Protein backbone atom coordinates (compact mmCIF):
# COMPACT_ATOMS: atom_id res chain seq x y z
CA UNK A 1 0.00 0.00 0.00
CA UNK A 2 1.33 3.42 -0.98
CA UNK A 3 1.81 5.48 2.12
CA UNK A 4 3.68 8.12 4.06
CA UNK A 5 4.44 7.03 7.60
CA UNK A 6 5.22 9.41 10.42
CA UNK A 7 6.35 8.55 13.91
CA UNK A 8 5.45 9.21 16.60
CA UNK A 9 1.80 10.18 16.21
CA UNK A 10 1.75 11.96 19.56
CA UNK A 11 4.60 13.44 21.53
CA UNK A 12 4.81 15.51 24.69
CA UNK A 13 8.23 16.88 25.51
CA UNK A 14 9.92 19.55 27.57
CA UNK A 15 11.51 22.75 26.38
CA UNK A 16 15.02 22.24 25.11
CA UNK A 17 15.00 18.48 24.79
CA UNK A 18 16.05 17.52 21.27
CA UNK A 19 13.60 15.41 19.32
CA UNK A 20 13.22 13.85 15.90
CA UNK A 21 10.03 13.11 14.02
CA UNK A 22 10.55 10.49 11.36
CA UNK A 23 8.91 10.36 7.95
CA UNK A 24 9.16 7.56 5.44
CA UNK A 25 7.47 7.01 2.07
CA UNK A 26 7.35 3.86 -0.04
CA UNK A 27 6.43 5.42 -3.40
CA UNK A 28 9.92 6.37 -4.59
CA UNK A 29 8.92 10.03 -4.59
CA UNK A 30 11.64 12.59 -5.13
CA UNK A 31 9.89 15.48 -3.46
CA UNK A 32 9.21 15.52 0.30
CA UNK A 33 8.17 18.30 2.63
CA UNK A 34 7.18 19.13 6.17
CA UNK A 35 4.24 21.30 7.20
CA UNK A 36 2.85 22.52 10.45
CA UNK A 37 -0.84 23.07 10.92
CA UNK A 38 -2.10 25.64 13.40
CA UNK A 39 -5.67 26.83 13.97
CA UNK A 40 -6.55 29.75 11.73
CA UNK A 41 -3.23 29.55 9.89
CA UNK A 42 -3.76 26.50 7.75
CA UNK A 43 -0.73 24.59 6.52
CA UNK A 44 2.64 26.28 6.49
CA UNK A 45 5.65 24.70 4.91
CA UNK A 46 8.72 24.24 7.10
CA UNK A 47 11.27 22.59 4.82
CA UNK A 48 11.22 20.69 1.57
CA UNK A 49 13.53 18.42 -0.35
CA UNK A 50 13.73 17.94 -4.10
CA UNK A 51 15.86 14.82 -3.84
CA UNK A 52 18.57 13.12 -1.80
CA UNK A 53 20.92 15.64 -0.19
CA UNK A 54 18.88 18.56 -1.58
CA UNK A 55 16.87 20.50 0.99
CA UNK A 56 15.60 24.05 1.26
CA UNK A 57 13.69 26.30 3.62
CA UNK A 58 9.97 26.78 3.40
CA UNK A 59 7.96 29.58 4.95
CA UNK A 60 8.64 28.85 8.63
CA UNK A 61 12.02 27.10 8.99
CA UNK A 62 13.25 28.74 12.22
CA UNK A 63 13.91 26.22 14.96
CA UNK A 64 13.84 23.18 12.66
CA UNK A 65 16.35 21.07 10.78
CA UNK A 66 15.94 18.33 8.22
CA UNK A 67 18.11 15.85 6.40
CA UNK A 68 17.63 13.70 3.30
CA UNK A 69 20.25 10.99 3.28
CA UNK A 70 17.98 8.43 1.66
CA UNK A 71 15.21 8.93 -0.83
CA UNK A 72 12.53 7.38 1.33
CA UNK A 73 13.27 9.18 4.61
CA UNK A 74 12.97 12.82 5.58
CA UNK A 75 13.24 13.34 9.35
CA UNK A 76 12.34 16.61 11.06
CA UNK A 77 14.65 17.61 13.88
CA UNK A 78 13.94 20.07 16.65
CA UNK A 79 17.28 20.75 18.31
CA UNK A 80 15.85 22.80 21.18
CA UNK A 81 12.05 22.72 21.12
CA UNK A 82 10.09 25.65 22.50
CA UNK A 83 6.40 25.96 23.40
CA UNK A 84 5.66 27.93 20.21
CA UNK A 85 6.51 24.77 18.28
CA UNK A 86 3.52 23.03 19.78
CA UNK A 87 1.59 22.11 16.67
CA UNK A 88 0.34 19.38 14.36
CA UNK A 89 3.03 18.34 11.89
CA UNK A 90 2.57 16.67 8.54
CA UNK A 91 5.04 15.10 6.19
CA UNK A 92 4.15 14.93 2.50
CA UNK A 93 5.67 13.45 -0.62
CA UNK A 94 5.05 13.65 -4.34
CA UNK A 95 6.64 12.87 -7.63
CA UNK A 96 8.96 15.54 -8.90
CA UNK A 97 6.56 16.21 -11.71
CA UNK A 98 4.73 19.45 -12.15
CA UNK A 99 1.07 19.26 -11.30
CA UNK A 100 1.12 16.05 -9.29
CA UNK A 101 -0.70 15.76 -6.02
CA UNK A 102 0.91 15.20 -2.65
CA UNK A 103 0.51 12.25 -0.31
CA UNK A 104 0.38 13.10 3.37
CA UNK A 105 1.27 11.24 6.52
CA UNK A 106 -1.24 10.96 9.34
CA UNK A 107 0.36 13.71 11.36
CA UNK A 108 2.33 14.12 14.56
CA UNK A 109 0.78 16.11 17.36
CA UNK A 110 3.62 17.70 19.30
CA UNK A 111 3.24 19.43 22.64
CA UNK A 112 6.21 21.28 24.13
CA UNK A 113 5.81 22.22 27.78
CA UNK B 1 4.22 34.95 -4.95
CA UNK B 2 1.21 32.72 -5.05
CA UNK B 3 -1.61 32.82 -2.55
CA UNK B 4 -4.88 31.07 -1.83
CA UNK B 5 -7.91 32.45 -0.04
CA UNK B 6 -10.69 30.40 1.48
CA UNK B 7 -13.05 33.13 2.61
CA UNK B 8 -15.20 30.96 4.86
CA UNK B 9 -13.84 29.39 8.02
CA UNK B 10 -16.94 27.23 8.26
CA UNK B 11 -19.72 26.13 5.96
CA UNK B 12 -22.92 24.60 7.29
CA UNK B 13 -25.28 22.65 5.09
CA UNK B 14 -28.13 20.22 5.62
CA UNK B 15 -27.74 16.65 4.46
CA UNK B 16 -29.07 16.23 0.94
CA UNK B 17 -28.54 19.86 0.01
CA UNK B 18 -25.87 21.01 -2.42
CA UNK B 19 -22.67 22.35 -0.96
CA UNK B 20 -20.05 24.83 -2.12
CA UNK B 21 -16.69 25.53 -0.53
CA UNK B 22 -15.06 28.61 -2.00
CA UNK B 23 -11.47 29.13 -3.08
CA UNK B 24 -9.79 31.98 -4.91
CA UNK B 25 -6.15 32.12 -5.87
CA UNK B 26 -3.39 34.39 -7.08
CA UNK B 27 -0.49 33.02 -9.09
CA UNK B 28 1.79 34.06 -11.92
CA UNK B 29 0.97 32.24 -15.10
CA UNK B 30 -1.33 29.28 -15.34
CA UNK B 31 -2.23 27.53 -12.12
CA UNK B 32 -2.46 23.95 -11.03
CA UNK B 33 -5.23 23.78 -8.44
CA UNK B 34 -6.00 21.12 -5.88
CA UNK B 35 -8.52 20.24 -3.22
CA UNK B 36 -7.64 18.12 -0.23
CA UNK B 37 -9.81 16.84 2.61
CA UNK B 38 -8.78 16.22 6.19
CA UNK B 39 -10.88 14.00 8.42
CA UNK B 40 -10.39 14.18 12.20
CA UNK B 41 -7.05 12.75 13.35
CA UNK B 42 -6.01 12.01 9.79
CA UNK B 43 -3.66 13.47 7.25
CA UNK B 44 -4.80 15.32 4.15
CA UNK B 45 -6.20 13.27 1.31
CA UNK B 46 -6.24 14.34 -2.31
CA UNK B 47 -9.73 14.97 -3.74
CA UNK B 48 -9.26 16.43 -7.19
CA UNK B 49 -7.12 18.72 -9.29
CA UNK B 50 -7.26 21.03 -12.25
CA UNK B 51 -4.30 20.99 -14.61
CA UNK B 52 -5.72 21.95 -17.98
CA UNK B 53 -8.69 21.25 -20.20
CA UNK B 54 -12.30 21.06 -19.05
CA UNK B 55 -13.09 23.67 -16.42
CA UNK B 56 -15.28 21.24 -14.50
CA UNK B 57 -13.20 18.64 -12.71
CA UNK B 58 -14.66 15.55 -11.08
CA UNK B 59 -12.99 13.89 -8.12
CA UNK B 60 -13.44 11.41 -5.31
CA UNK B 61 -16.60 10.88 -3.24
CA UNK B 62 -18.83 12.72 -5.71
CA UNK B 63 -17.04 16.05 -5.39
CA UNK B 64 -16.37 18.34 -8.31
CA UNK B 65 -14.80 21.74 -8.75
CA UNK B 66 -15.12 24.46 -11.32
CA UNK B 67 -12.13 26.41 -12.54
CA UNK B 68 -12.97 29.99 -13.44
CA UNK B 69 -9.99 31.81 -14.86
CA UNK B 70 -11.60 35.24 -15.07
CA UNK B 71 -12.63 35.12 -11.42
CA UNK B 72 -9.48 33.24 -10.36
CA UNK B 73 -11.64 30.79 -8.47
CA UNK B 74 -11.79 27.05 -7.96
CA UNK B 75 -14.86 26.34 -5.87
CA UNK B 76 -15.53 22.84 -4.58
CA UNK B 77 -19.05 21.53 -5.04
CA UNK B 78 -21.20 18.51 -4.40
CA UNK B 79 -24.83 18.15 -5.51
CA UNK B 80 -26.02 16.34 -2.38
CA UNK B 81 -24.11 16.55 0.91
CA UNK B 82 -23.66 13.62 3.27
CA UNK B 83 -23.04 13.80 7.02
CA UNK B 84 -19.84 11.86 6.34
CA UNK B 85 -18.59 14.76 4.20
CA UNK B 86 -18.06 16.77 7.39
CA UNK B 87 -14.35 17.53 7.45
CA UNK B 88 -11.76 20.22 6.89
CA UNK B 89 -11.16 21.14 3.25
CA UNK B 90 -8.04 22.75 1.88
CA UNK B 91 -7.51 24.40 -1.46
CA UNK B 92 -3.95 24.55 -2.83
CA UNK B 93 -2.26 26.16 -5.82
CA UNK B 94 0.93 25.43 -7.73
CA UNK B 95 2.26 27.67 -10.48
CA UNK B 96 2.64 25.73 -13.71
CA UNK B 97 6.21 26.87 -14.23
CA UNK B 98 7.80 23.84 -12.61
CA UNK B 99 7.54 24.67 -8.92
CA UNK B 100 6.71 21.78 -6.62
CA UNK B 101 5.90 23.98 -3.67
CA UNK B 102 2.16 24.26 -3.18
CA UNK B 103 0.54 27.07 -1.27
CA UNK B 104 -2.42 26.04 0.85
CA UNK B 105 -5.42 28.02 1.96
CA UNK B 106 -6.29 28.20 5.65
CA UNK B 107 -8.94 25.54 5.33
CA UNK B 108 -12.74 25.51 5.54
CA UNK B 109 -14.59 23.37 8.03
CA UNK B 110 -17.60 21.77 6.40
CA UNK B 111 -20.36 20.69 8.74
CA UNK B 112 -23.22 18.68 7.29
CA UNK B 113 -26.23 18.48 9.58
CA UNK B 114 -28.53 15.43 9.54
Q: Nearest CB to B107: which of A4, A42, A92?
A: A42
Mean pLDDT score of chain B: 92
**What φ, ψ does residue A13 adopt, rounded to 5°?**
-140, 175
The verdict on B57 touching A (C-beta cutoff 8 Å) is: no
**What is the three-class DSSP state of B51?**
coil
The verdict on B60 touching A (C-beta cutoff 8 Å) is: no
**What is the three-class DSSP state of B62?**
helix
CB distance B44 to B36 below 8 Å: yes
Encode chain A (113 residues) as per-residue pLDDT tens digits.
Answer: 889 999 999 999 999 999 999 999 999 999 999 999 998 888 999 999 999 999 999 989 999 999 999 999 999 999 999 999 999 999 999 987 777 888 999 999 999 99
Q: Apex CA B25: angle with CA B23 and CA B29, to 5°?
A: 145
Q: How far apart are the C-alpha atoms of B28 and B32, rounded to whole Å?
A: 11
B98 pLDDT band (50/70/90 cuts)?
low
Amino acid sequence: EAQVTQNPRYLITVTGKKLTVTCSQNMNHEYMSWYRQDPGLGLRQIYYSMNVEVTDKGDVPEGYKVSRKEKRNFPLILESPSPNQTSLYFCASSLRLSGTEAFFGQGTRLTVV
Amino acid sequence: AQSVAQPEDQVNVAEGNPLTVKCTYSVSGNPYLFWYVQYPNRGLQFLLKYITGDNLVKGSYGFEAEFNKSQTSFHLKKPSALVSDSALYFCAVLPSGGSYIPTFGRGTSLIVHP
